Amino acid sequence: MKSDIKMSTKLTQKEIGHRIAELRKIKGLSQVDLAKRVRLPRPSLAQIELGNRSVTVPELQMFSLALGFSLDDFVSKDFRGGQEKEAKEEVKTKKPDERISVPALQVKKFKNVILYILERCAGKPNMGETVLYKLLYFSDFNYYELYEEQLTGAKYRKLPYGPVPQRLDTIINQMIDKGQLKRVKTEYHGYPQTRYLPLVKADLTELKASEKEVIDKVVEQMSDWSAAAISNYSHNDMPWRASKDGEEINYELAYYREPPFSVRNYGEEMAEL
């Protein structure tokens, strides 16, 4: 028997990976959960789901046990159609406390994250809108990669200068109207720059210790970068690269990051397997 499943079926690597990813989501499992069940490092599972790594027969058998499918059904043409009803039923019966990856904006927390970042960075000459947007993006996506839950729940869109949080203009204007922020128009290296100055302190009781730690690390790493440097860096991050122009960036794409963007210690995960 050949050990590489792609050699014994008509399914391509990408089709196999897509089916495994769909089944994982139907079962409500994170990549970490499934990786532990099949005794693989999460980076390997991520590569399988992307179609960049083949799956051996023993590995596929492990997936079948973990996800509850038969190998005959898995390679059949109507496999996905057979799962649609099950998926809909599971969504209906999903418990409220189960993990949900769809972001829901927590406006109060988002405002306090803005204030906290600006408290630490507003005095830096490079700290215009572009840098603020990217610090918010990396705080949100780094936290999601690490803890598989939302920090602020902000939605980001892929635009030419990098990921931009949606509804930010509305939230900023609300904060200005309430006397929490001041908008300042200046120049930096001969270019127009919009800056925001915090007029009140962030309410740190809105942030968990783990959330503050992630924000602090992002600020320490990137807050001195120029707008061009941090924009170029964001353009190489997998969530931005894998998204279409103008569309919303899926938080789940943070799981497919590679160094230097990945913030998760995969060595520890592999040691636990």
**Distance separating alpha carbons of residues 114 and 253, to the nearest angstrom:** 24
Closest to 29 (Cα-Cα) out of 95, 134, 99: 99
**Distance separating alpha carbons of residues 37 and 240, to the nearest angstrom:** 29
Q: How far is CA 216 from the centre of its chain?
A: 18
| pLDDT for 3 | 46
117 CB burial (10 A radius; 0-12, 13-18, 19+): buried
* Of 51, 71, 93, the domain-final residue: 93
Structure tokens at 207: 């942030």
Do both 217 and 246 map to the same domain?
yes
* Of 58, 93, 128, the domain-final residue: 93
Task: Considering only CA atoms, give the Rg of the chain.
Answer: 21
Do both 45 and 156 map to the same domain?
no
Alpha helix positions (H), 223-261: 227-235, 238-241
Residue owning tokens 């509305």: 170
Residues 6+ apart with CB under 8 A from 122: 195, 196, 197, 198
Do both 127 and 229 map to the same domain?
yes
Do both 89 and 121 map to the same domain?
no
Supply the DSSP symbol for 56. Answer: B
| pLDDT for 91 | 44
Do both 147 and 49 map to the same domain?
no
For residue 26, the enclosing domain spans: 5-93
Do both 138 and 253 map to the same domain?
yes
Residues 6+ apart with CB under 8 A from 169: none
Do both 51 and 115 map to the same domain?
no
Supply the DSSP symbol for 206. Answer: G
Closest to 118 (Cα-Cα) out of 40, 192, 232, 196: 196
Strands 156-159, 162-165: pairing kind: antiparallel
- What's the CATH code of the domain at 66? 1.10.260.40
**Distance separating alpha carbons of residues 234 and 161, to the nearest angstrom:** 9
| pLDDT for 138 | 98
Do both 170 and 228 map to the same domain?
yes
The residue ranges of the chain whose pLDDT is under 70 are 1-9, 80-103, 265-273
Helices and strands, counts by H and E, the chain: 14, 4
Which of helix, strand or coil describes residue 208? coil
State pTM to two decimals: 0.70
